[in-house]
Structure 1
Amino acid sequence: MRELNTASLDSVTQTEIYAKFFHGLSNPTRFKIVEALLDQEMNVSQLVDAIGASQSQVSNQLACLKWCGYVTSRQEGKYILYRISDERVRTILQLAKEIVADNAEHIRCCTRM
């Protein structure tokens, strides 16, 4: 995958890319998939069982997560196994959980998002 040097972009474009990065985790199905993959590799069927979404939803969201660099895959026999592509994703989720724990009620009640 070709890397984009954000330093060469204007601040508006950088801001849009950062917002899109966080938007990648804003979909509940995508978030559940990423969370499920923190502990182990899984195939689509295992993810369907783990998060309770349909196979088409999981496949569609995995495609998005893979395209944007959150997850990667490898083939093992007849299965494609997915995993977190970068350990920093784990760190981001851990930090988010800590912030949410401190602000859960305000976030839950927010009507501006």
Structure 2
Amino acid sequence: MAVVQDLSLTLKAKFFRGLADTSRLALLEALRSGEKSVSELVADTGLSQPNASGHLACLKECGLVASRQEGRFVYYALADPRVEDVLRDAEGILADVAARVYACTRYQD
């Protein structure tokens, strides 16, 4: 049973590490309003095109975003509506604890 619990915790930690990257989180936030092309995501996030594309590939590989090709353009969207739920829930939690999270010295940028 401990092995199953360890795997579950490891997967959850990996999931949250993926969300902890500010570039990936910025891309997910930008996709909350709907499907966007890479160029739209670059404009929305301020990331470079290669940086955005690399992070989008990571998010796609992990199943958090989906893509579709239309001509020479690739469009991305949140792959699962629960990703939006996680982001919204995080905002709700932060509404109560933002000052404490900001002041926390144990987690650094």
Deviation at 1:43, TM superposition (A): 1.3
Name 1:4's counterpart in structure 2: none
Which amino acid letter does the alignment assign opposite residue 92 of structure 1?
V
* Aligned equivalent of 2:15, options 21, 29, 38: 21
Which amino acid letter does the alignment assign opposite residue 67 of structure 1?
E
Q: Which protein is richer in helix relative to its size?
A: 2
Superposed CA RMSD in Å reads 1.3
Q: TM-score by structure 2 length?
A: 0.92
Written as runs of structure 1 = structure 2, the 5 A alignment for 1:27-66 is 27-66=21-60
Deviation at 1:84, TM superposition (A): 0.2
Which amino acid letter does the alignment assign opposite residue 39 of structure 1?
S
> Aligned with 1:72: secondary structure?
strand
Written as runs of structure 1 = structure 2, the 5 A alignment for 1:1-113 is 10-113=4-107
Deviation at 1:14, TM superposition (A): 1.1
Q: Which runs of 5+ in 2 are unaligned?
A: none
Query: How many residues end up aligned between the 2 structures?
Result: 106
Which amino acid letter does the alignment assign opposite residue 27 of structure 1?
D
Which amino acid letter does the alignment assign opposite residue 53 of structure 2?
S
Deviation at 1:88, TM superposition (A): 0.5
Instruction: Give the Cα–Cα distance (whole angstroms) in 1 for the partners of residues 32 and 39 of structure 2.
Output: 17
Q: TM-score by structure 1 length?
A: 0.89
